């Protein structure tokens, strides 16, 4: 389990992380989201003892990283694609990590197979592509068979098959009881992978909830209703407190209500319904709503038009 307790970090006058408190539970893939500059990488670096908090605590299984006796047996992490020395062979790199953490040498072959690098184990790291280095980093994270995994942009450099592989790996580890904490800018991938979301902006917590609840809270969720009696149904829905608008196509767009609510009101009035459908927001849309006031960089009107 990962626990952040009032975690704060300043870099000069810039507050990167601002009183962040959250618990990352085992048995789930928890996505860690936020705009550029939100403090995600700084938070992960404090978890791994690479940066020192100005106040608060970042704990893994109740201890700061520096207090873990054999860290790789407790937590595996990938926060940088620069893995090992370019002149070192992949298997030798992993063997050094194993020996320094009292991990059996046999684990080297196991993790190389798990990440699909068995035949590349004898190659020098400097010859690896970005995707291969990413796989090697993940192999190092898995070396001690830890119950806590921390990944910063784990799909970076991976091809389509690799993206599917890392998604299935994270979900399998969580299903086996591990704590999986992963940051990514790829909302579609997070929607396919994560069970729970922690969203931050300007170093502060914005959301800590299941992915289903985060999406359900989006104002873009709406119900489309087609009926010959649109005006009558719109009046009834308004009386019931359901925001409703009449679209150019003559259908009703209803927000803040369920299909059952709308269907029940229409049924009570004896109205014929030709269409009753739910338009569900994507994670990308829900995320954009949550973080709209926390952006460090907002493109100009000219840049938005050009894109």
150-188 pLDDT, tens digit each: 999 998 888 999 999 999 999 999 999 999 999 988 898
Residue where the block lists tokens 């259908």: 251
Show the tokens assigned to 147: 């119950």
Neighbouring CB atoms inside 10 A of 190's CB total 22
**Three-class SS state of 148:** strand
CATH 3.40.50.300 maps onto the chain at: 2-216
pTM over 0.75: yes
Query: Taking Cα atoms as reference points, which of 217, 232, 299 lies closest to residue 265?
Result: 232
Closest C-alpha among 258, 271, 260, 262 to residue 232: 271
CATH number of 2-216: 3.40.50.300
Q: Rounded mean pLDDT of the chain? A: 91
Model confidence pLDDT, tens digit, residues 226-238: 999 999 999 999 9
pLDDT digits (tens, 9 = 90+) for 60-69: 999 999 999 8
Instruction: Give 222-279's CATH code, choosing from 3.30.460, 3.30.70, 2.30.29, 3.40.50.
Output: 3.30.70
As annotated, the residues of the chain forming the CATH 3.30.70 domain(s) are 222-279
* CA distances to 32, 222, 239, 286, 289 from 187, in Å: 11, 21, 37, 10, 13
């Amino acid at each position: 389990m990962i626990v952040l307790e009032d975690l704060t970090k300043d870099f000069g006058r810039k507050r990167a992380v601002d009183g962040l408190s959250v618990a990352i539970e085992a048995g789930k893939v928890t996505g860690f989201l936020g705009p550029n500059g939100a403090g995600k990488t700084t938070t992960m670096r404090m978890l791994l003892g690479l940066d020192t908090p100005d106040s608060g605590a970042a704990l893994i299984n109740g201890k700061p990283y520096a207090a873990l006796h054999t860290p790789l047996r407790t937590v595996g992490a990938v926060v940088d694609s620069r893995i090992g020395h370019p002149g070192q062979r992949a298997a030798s790199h992993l063997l050094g990590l194993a020996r320094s953490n009292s991990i059996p040498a046999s684990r080297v072959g196991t993790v190389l197979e798990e990440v699909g690098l068995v035949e590349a184990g004898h190659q020098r790291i400097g010859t690896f592509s970005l995707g291969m280095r990413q796989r090697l980093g993940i192999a190092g994270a898995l070396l001690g068979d830890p119950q806590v995994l921390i990944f910063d942009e784990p799909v970076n450099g991976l091809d389509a098959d690799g993206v599917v592989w890392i998604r299935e790996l994270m979900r399998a580890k969580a299903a086996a009881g591990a704590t999986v904490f992963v940051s990514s800018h790829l909302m579609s991938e997070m929607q396919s992978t994560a069970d729970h979301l922690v969203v931050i902006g300007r170093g502060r917590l914005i959301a800590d909830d299941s992915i289903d609840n985060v999406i359900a809270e989006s104002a873009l969720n709406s119900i489309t209703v087609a009926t010959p009696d649109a005006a009558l149904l719109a009046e009834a829905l308004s009386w019931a407190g359901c925001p409703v608008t009449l679209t150019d196509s003559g259908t009703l767009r209803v927000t803040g209500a369920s299909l059952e609510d709308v269907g029940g009101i229409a049924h009570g009035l004896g109205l014929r319904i030709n269409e009753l459908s739910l338009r569900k927001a994507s994670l990308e849309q829900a995320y954009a709503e949550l973080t709209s006031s926390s952006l460090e960089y907002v493109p100009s009107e000219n840049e938005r038009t050009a894109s």
